[in-house]
A and B are shown apart, each in its own frame.
Chain A
């Protein structure tokens, strides 16, 4: 079974600075998706960024980018120019690229605080 590990339970960053959240995963599959979700205090799950494993280019969405290292099974999230609204729980997630009803497998999350 696949597992996702987020080794940083909590992180903090100064407003306007850059922070990197770590995520590693374990799988024997070669094709899969990786995601970062944000969960603010409202508890809504918001998709931040998505990466297909077959793509070598790292995904980018405005201030959010990933460092995808397939061989190392690492998928870190970089948040640039951090804003107060970025404060939330961040979950890394894995999903198989296969037929069938494969669910998202989540890490335990990293709570990000943004300091004004």
Chain B
């Protein structure tokens, strides 16, 4: 079946560092990718929606200059957490969809810890 690969699975870094998370669709072309953030024991919160070749649409309250999203190809989207601080520590999950009424497939998530 369709697979979405998310990398890295775990990141620990110092405050002030920028961290890039990759999300790849392995066997389908993802016209749309979604980035979610999940706090411990909480639900998934949508951060942004991105389409290949266009700017991402951010949800209210999500800083676009803090969370840079690039969807440069039909199989790759990246989320860069710029100048990360401890409050950015969280679990980030990407999701990809091949078409309007296609299933939405999830990556395995990235646990980000900022010291």
Docked complex: B10-46 residues within 8 A CB-CB of A: 32, 34, 38, 41-44, 46
Cβ contact of A47, chosen from B46, B93, B103, cutoff 8 A: B103
Q: Which chain B residues lie closer than 8 Å to A42 at the CB level?
A: 108
Q: Which chain A residues lie closer than 8 Å to B109 at the CB level?
A: 43-44
Docked complex: B34-75 residues within 8 A CB-CB of A: 34, 38, 41-44, 46, 49, 51, 57
Q: Which chain A residues lie closer than 8 Å to B108 at the CB level?
A: 42-44
When C-beta atoms are compared, the residue in chain A nearest to B46 turns out to be A103
Q: Which chain B residues lie closer than 8 Å to A25 at the CB level?
A: none
A78 within 8 A of B: no
A36 within 8 A of B: no
Q: Which chain B residues lie closer than 8 Å to A43 at the CB level?
A: 38, 91, 93, 108-109, 111
Cβ contact of B43, chosen from A47, A97, A99, A109, cutoff 8 A: A109
Bound-state Cα–Cα, A97 to B102, Å: 10
Query: How extensive is the interface on chain B, given as a class?
Result: 20 to 34
Q: Contact check, A44 vs B106: say whether CB atoms are below 8 A apart.
A: yes
- B interface SS class: strand
Bound-state Cα–Cα, A1 to B100, Å: 19
Q: Which of B38, B44, B91, B93 has the most CB of A within 10 A?
A: B44
Q: Contact check, A101 vs B43: say whether CB atoms are below 8 A apart.
A: no
Docked complex: A78-116 residues within 8 A CB-CB of B: 91, 95, 97-101, 103-109, 111
B77 within 8 A of A: no
Bound-state Cα–Cα, A109 to B42, Å: 7
Q: Which residue numbers of A lie inside 8 Å of B, CB to CB?
A: 42-45, 47, 50, 91, 95, 97-101, 103-109, 111
Q: Which residue numbers of B lie inside 8 Å of A, CB to CB?
A: 32, 34, 38, 41-44, 46, 49, 51, 57, 91, 93, 95, 100-101, 103-104, 106, 108-109, 111
